[in-house]
Amino acid sequence: MPKKPVADVSDTETRATSEHAPDLRLWLRTLACTNLIENHIRSCLRAEFGITLPRFDLMAQLERSPQGLKMGELSKRMMVTGGNVTGITDQLVAEGLVLREDSPKDRRAYIVKLTPQGRHSFRKMAEAHEKWVVELFGGMDEKQRGQLYQLLALLKTSAAAAAGNKPRPRRT
């Protein structure tokens, strides 16, 4: 049995101790939370629906954009490279869950959409997914969640500014 990595008191966060900068500990705690949640959702999706997290994520993007999205749009929104989106899309097309249409405006581009079957499958999964997320955040009260939401907005702005200047210029 593939023992899943279980977080305990000595997880990723222990990489930093008192001698490290507070910012480093903050980052490692952020990362630990994300890994914990992501690993749980991944295993739930697999156990309940036999789907991988990346495929679910791609379908989630399409569900939010019923008019369809170009490959590049998917790449940006999922924060992964274009080549990666090509591969995941290929898989979903083979499963009949999404389809590629030629863009009428730009012959270089495809428009990717959910098929009716894909939309139907996704909606059932999304319901369970949301329930899991609610459970994962359930130990915080509403005020705390609201504060966290606001602080993460600041972090996102801060990190985007810092990352944008350096060696990762992927901008539209």
Interface with a copy of itself in residues 95-124 (CB under 8 A): none
- CB atoms closer than 10 angstroms to residue 129: 19
Query: DSSP labels for 58-122?
Result: HHHHHHH-TT-EEHHHHHHHHTS-HHHHHHHHHHHHHTTSEEEEE-SS-TT-EEEEE-HHHHHHH
The single residue among 12, 61, 103, 115 that binds DNA, judged by CB under 7 A, is 103
Residue 121 interacting with DNA (CB under 7 A): no
The answer to whether 124 and 146 are in contact (CB under 8 A) is no
Minimum Å gap between C-beta 2 and a copy of itself is 7
Distances (CA, A) of 148 to 13, 40, 62, 102, 129: 19, 21, 27, 41, 21
| Closer CB to DNA, 25 or 70, in the complex | 70
Identify which of residues 21 and 54 has a Cβ nearer to DNA in the complex. 54
Q: Is 84 a binder of DNA (CB under 7 A)?
A: yes
Tell me if 55 contacts DNA by CB under 7 A: yes
Partner from DNA, a copy of itself, none contacting 120, C-beta within 5 to 8 A by type: none
d(CA 96, CA 26): 42
The distance of Cα 118 from the centroid of its chain, to the nearest Å, equals 18
Nearest to 133 by CA among 55, 40, 49: 40
Is 12 a residue that touches DNA (CB under 7 A)? no
Estimate to the nearest angstrom the gap between the alpha carbon of 85 and the chain centroid. Answer: 13
Q: Select the binding partner of residue 113 from a copy of itself, DNA, none (C-beta < 5 to 8 A, by kind).
A: none
Subset of 3-22 contacting a copy of itself (CB under 8 A): 3-8, 10-17, 20-22
Residue 95 site contact among a copy of itself, DNA, none (CB < 5 to 8 Å, cut-off depends on kind): none
Question: Considering beta carbons, is residue 4 or 29 the nearer one to DNA?
Answer: 4
Q: Which parts of this chain interact with DNA (CB under 7 A)? A: 1-5, 39, 42-43, 46, 52-55, 70-73, 75, 79-91, 100, 103, 106-110, 171-172
